[in-house]
Structure 1
Amino acid sequence: MVFRTRRLAGASVAVAAATALVAGCATGSGGSTSGASGNTLTLWTHNAGNSAELDVVKKIIKDFNGSQSKYKVKLQAFPQSDYNNSVVAAASARKLPCLLDVDGPNVANWAWGGYLSPIDVSGSEVPLSDQLASTVGRYKGKLYAFGFYDVALTFFARKSVLNTYDIRIPTTDKPWTKAEFDSALAKLKKSGKFAYPLEMGTGGSGEWWPYAFSPQLQSFGGDLIDRDGYKTASGTLDGKKSVEWATWFRSLVTKGYMAKKSGADPNKDFLAGKSAIQWDGSWNAAKNAEKLGDDLAIIPPVDFGDGPKIGGASWQWAMSSTCSNKAGAQAWLKFSRQTKYFVDYAKATGTIPGTEAAAKQVDGYQPGGKFNELVQFARKYAVVRPVTPAYPYISTEFQKAAQDIIAGADPKNALGQAAKAIDNDLKSNNYYAG
């Protein structure tokens, strides 16, 4: 992308700053309230630089304001690079808006930190049960947020290239095994036709790293943290299966299959033929199909032994804990939950519709459509990032460890250091109790 959130989760978070501040203010609701002036409610979004998605937000606000006379929602849009810092500062001053969007993996952190209030959207046109599980943000059994779309990781390749080198084109029902994938990369490298046969966006930063690579670690059988209680990363992040992933990940560089640091636009490089296989997201599917036509292969994630995995959760809508007009905020949230808006978001952003009913109305994503495989990937393979307030810190530590590993650090030591740092963070925050 420009990782459409690098839209995916956690995407633009200033994780270190957010975690540090939240760790010091896990106070819940109370104190001053804000976000509304009478029945006029303020809404914040990260979409100032994304006109297509912002237009959908504006449309919902306009429709809601015109549908009744009791409440009025007014918009304030921020550049994505500034958004999370603005939320953190406003939360500290207890001046959050009534309505705001939040990147899915950060819902637990913001709920624990007292930024958000649970919401009730019962009676909406679209039941929560109809949504992709990854588009619903819950923490400790309570609903805090929901989204209209998700994205899916996928491999892109040219069918003609795979056929030339006698590489099987995998299907959702029969993805590549690790042995098949390694063999394919060896064949492509031997051909001498590509600078690097594999492109995985290693020049990216931030949330791209855990979003793109922790699903591969999980497919090996490892994880970012022990999800049984979320009280330790040691023995999991640096466990045997995780180290196997890290060793393999490093080998992609040492064998010349993948660049230590990719170019500024990996998708452009793929379309130019510099790479044969690209690990990317559904946000580039339409562009690639337009360029390559029927030669485009949309390929499921590799099964490294514990099943194919991709990351799940993207931007979602929530209500602040300090909102002084929660009835109005929940009225807007309920109003927005109409199938037509799920369709509008997907069409505007090239994302996966959050419901099956919406997918049927989006060209290419309907059953039998050329992008329906991406919908199936999201339904079958998505793993949400750890649902713990510690996640922003975990994200930062994993990114550092993974980057160190492909730069030459010992895999076990790098993961061990990350696990120890995460455990220290958990302990220092009393395991995020409360």
Structure 2
Amino acid sequence: MVSTPLKRLATIGLAAALALSLAACGKGSSSGNSAETDANGTATLKLWTHNAGNDKELAAINQVVSDYNGSQAKYKVEVQAFPQDSYNTSVTAAAASKSLPCILDVDGPNVPNWAWAGYLAPLDGMDDQISKFLPSTVGAYNGKNYSVGYYDVALIMEARKSALAENGIRIPTSDQPWTKDEFAAALAAIKASGKWANALDMQTGNTGEWWPYAYSPFLQSFGGDLINRADYKSADGELNGPAAVEWANWFRSLTTDGYMPLKSGADPAQDFLNGKTAILYNGSWGAEPARASAIADDIVFLPSVDLGQGPKIGGGSWQWAVSQGCSSPEGALDYMKFALQDKYVASVSEATGTIPATDAAAAMVPGYEPGGVNDLFRQFSKEFALVRPVTPGYPFIATTFTKTAQDILNGADPQQALDQAVKDIDANQQSNNNFQ
């Protein structure tokens, strides 16, 4: 599970952009088959997942399906697993040909786009059950729930305790995270010690969705955002206002002041474990290998930095949904209600090493129970997670932000770069009638 979340994040941007382009020209085209009934009256429901090659998660999903099929005779769910790299294109192609499965998983940021495009049906009658899930694991759009997931992950700071102690740096907590000034002082002290090649590594060598997922939370902590979330019509004032410019200058200063590399190495996690880096901006998925390393006793997991408006971290991972075209929607919803029992939330999150989406499930997963070694990651998710903008235009926003942030790190004028990003995002929203 170490590299899987990063790989997933890296693949979302291109696939999501493709989803947007196909959705725009094929909106409402997903009605069709999805269920077949045999001579005994059993309706077969197809389920698609991105987990081909992800053996542990696929095995956990197959067990859920096996249990469901054995619990009743009215419906039979059949699993088809796709490689993640081709999954989103398979879904959009199926939508265009009116052949979506009844049940499918979807990456959280794509939910508004797929719901707007007519791929997904609301999860009617499930609000009470869904209310028990972490907000970041629920895909909502226009006031309706369209998807829900078993798990999430949390962005964290991994730090060498010795580097903090030797430089008199306070260990932050959820209640008292580092302030911007404390973080700056910590980086300056670590750099001045001369013991570390990198005081900080923010994994800037990663690509795709990592950029908005990992770096827009810092923008939001400054008080800016990717778009105005009141109506999702414009990014003006949010992505190019004073708070956004302050974020841009701060982000670039991390490299110009020599605290972090302009572009990270091929394996920032190993650089951290091998003693090259003092503080690594990472995800909760990095905890297991860190605890298994030779320096486990010298590693501490910390909340993100409060840059003025509280710490923020990205929220939303893979979730489950029902297609709009399913010819047996009552069967698909019956499966969803069964599959989202706490014991299955626990089994899938345990298989993937991720944060369980319900309190009851967390109590079943070793380490995630209250006071467990991983409970802090769940608390980070509860307290600090912010889902990416809930608009069908998000794929375009994501790629625009990525290019802009990269340009800024490479020397572009922050105000000019952000102003251009706003123009591009607003034009895309308006060209789609704000996705109304």
Q: TM-score normalised to the size of structure 2? A: 0.95
For 1:317 and 1:121, locate their aligned partners in 2 and report how far apart those are by CA, in whole Å: 15
Deviation at residue 91 of structure 1 after TM alignment: 1.0
SS at match of 1:101: strand
Identify if the C-alpha distance between structure 1 residues 266 and 9 changes in structure 2 by more than 3 Å, giving closer, same or farther.
closer
CA contact (8 A) 2:203 2:281 kept: yes
For 2:338 and 2:263, locate their aligned partners in 1 and report how far apart those are by CA, in whole Å: 45
Task: Say whether residues 1:378 and 2:377 are aligned partners.
Answer: no
Deviation at residue 327 of structure 1 after TM alignment: 1.5
Deviation at residue 295 of structure 1 after TM alignment: 2.5
For 2:84 and 2:415, locate their aligned partners in 1 and report how far apart those are by CA, in whole Å: 35
297, 302, 322: which one pairs with 2:300?
297
SS at match of 1:42: strand
Paired residue type of 1:398:
F
CA contact (8 A) 2:10 2:206 kept: no
For 2:51 and 2:251, locate their aligned partners in 1 and report how far apart those are by CA, in whole Å: 34
Q: Give 1:16's aligned residue.
A: 17
59, 65, 70: which one pairs with 2:69?
65
For 2:245 and 2:149, locate their aligned partners in 1 and report how far apart those are by CA, in whole Å: 34
Identify if the C-alpha distance between structure 1 residues 13 and 119 changes in structure 2 by more than 3 Å, giving closer, same or farther.
farther
CA contact (8 A) 1:52 1:348 kept: yes
Structure 1, residues 203-260: CA drift from partner, whole Å, max 9, x if none?
A: 1111111110000100000000011100001221111101100111011111111111
119, 139, 147: which one pairs with 1:115?
119
1:16-165, aligned counterparts within 5 Å? 16-27=17-28, 30=31, 33-38=32-37, 39-122=43-126, 127-165=129-167
Paired residue type of 2:154:
A
Structure 1, residues 61-117: CA drift from partner, whole Å, max 9, x if none?
A: 111111111111111111111111111111111111111001111111100011101
Deviation at residue 313 of structure 1 after TM alignment: 0.9
1:248-327, aligned counterparts within 5 Å? 248-291=250-293, 292-327=295-330
SS at match of 1:243: helix
Q: Give 2:342's aligned residue.
A: 339
Deviation at residue 10 of structure 1 after TM alignment: 7.9
Deviation at residue 16 of structure 1 after TM alignment: 2.4
Identify if the C-alpha distance between structure 1 residues 87 and 41 changes in structure 2 by more than 3 Å, giving closer, same or farther.
same
For 2:408 and 2:4, locate their aligned partners in 1 and report how far apart those are by CA, in whole Å: 22
CA contact (8 A) 1:5 1:11 kept: no
Paired residue type of 2:276:
K
The answer for unaligned runs of 5 or more in structure 2 is: 38-42
For 2:424 and 2:156, locate their aligned partners in 1 and report how far apart those are by CA, in whole Å: 31
For 1:264 and 1:3, locate their aligned partners in 2 and report how far apart those are by CA, in whole Å: 15
Q: Give 1:186's aligned residue.
A: 188
SS at match of 2:420: helix
Identify if the C-alpha distance between structure 1 residues 328 and 13 changes in structure 2 by more than 3 Å, giving closer, same or farther.
farther
For 2:14 and 2:104, locate their aligned partners in 1 and report how far apart those are by CA, in whole Å: 14
Paired residue type of 2:81:
A
CA contact (8 A) 1:9 1:105 kept: no
For 1:353 and 1:118, locate their aligned partners in 2 and report how far apart those are by CA, in whole Å: 23
Paired residue type of 1:358:
A
1:398-413, aligned counterparts within 5 Å? 398-413=401-416
SS at match of 1:169: coil
The answer for unaligned runs of 5 or more in structure 1 is: none
Deviation at residue 120 of structure 1 after TM alignment: 2.6
Identify if the C-alpha distance between structure 1 residues 211 and 238 changes in structure 2 by more than 3 Å, giving closer, same or farther.
same
CA contact (8 A) 1:10 1:104 kept: no
For 1:335 and 1:5, locate their aligned partners in 2 and report how far apart those are by CA, in whole Å: 30
For 1:358 and 1:73, locate their aligned partners in 2 and report how far apart those are by CA, in whole Å: 24
Mean Cα displacement is larger for which, 110-119 or 402-411? 402-411
CA contact (8 A) 1:99 1:317 kept: yes
- Root-mean-square deviation over aligned CA pairs: 1.6
For 2:340 and 2:28, locate their aligned partners in 1 and report how far apart those are by CA, in whole Å: 30
Mean Cα displacement is larger for which, 7-16 or 47-56? 7-16
Mean Cα displacement is larger for which, 212-221 or 408-417? 408-417
CA contact (8 A) 2:34 2:327 kept: yes
CA contact (8 A) 1:219 1:309 kept: yes
CA contact (8 A) 1:7 1:314 kept: no
CA contact (8 A) 1:8 1:313 kept: no
For 2:147 and 2:7, locate their aligned partners in 1 and report how far apart those are by CA, in whole Å: 19
CA contact (8 A) 2:156 2:283 kept: yes
Paired residue type of 2:264:
S
Identify if the C-alpha distance between structure 1 residues 123 and 172 changes in structure 2 by more than 3 Å, giving closer, same or farther.
closer
Paired residue type of 1:387:
V
Q: Give 1:234's aligned residue.
A: 236
Identify if the C-alpha distance between structure 1 residues 18 and 205 changes in structure 2 by more than 3 Å, giving closer, same or farther.
same
Task: Say whether residues 1:4 and 2:8 are aligned partners.
Answer: no
CA contact (8 A) 1:401 1:415 kept: yes
Q: Give 1:414's aligned residue.
A: 417
Identify if the C-alpha distance between structure 1 residues 131 and 8 changes in structure 2 by more than 3 Å, giving closer, same or farther.
farther
SS at match of 2:170: coil
For 1:300 and 1:143, locate their aligned partners in 2 and report how far apart those are by CA, in whole Å: 29
Q: Give 2:40's aligned residue.
A: none
For 1:246 and 1:25, locate their aligned partners in 2 and report how far apart those are by CA, in whole Å: 37
SS at match of 2:198: coil
Q: How many residues align?
A: 429
Deviation at residue 123 of structure 1 after TM alignment: 8.9
Deviation at residue 386 of structure 1 after TM alignment: 0.7
168, 171, 190: which one pairs with 2:170?
168
CA contact (8 A) 2:304 2:313 kept: yes
**After TM superposition, what 4+ stretches of structure 1 lie above 6 angstroms from structure 2?**
none
Q: Give 1:363's aligned residue.
A: 366
Deviation at residue 367 of structure 1 after TM alignment: 1.2
Q: TM-score normalised to the size of structure 1? A: 0.95
Paired residue type of 1:416:
D
For 1:324 and 1:53, locate their aligned partners in 2 and report how far apart those are by CA, in whole Å: 27
Paired residue type of 1:37:
E
Mean Cα displacement is larger for which, 307-316 or 186-195? 186-195
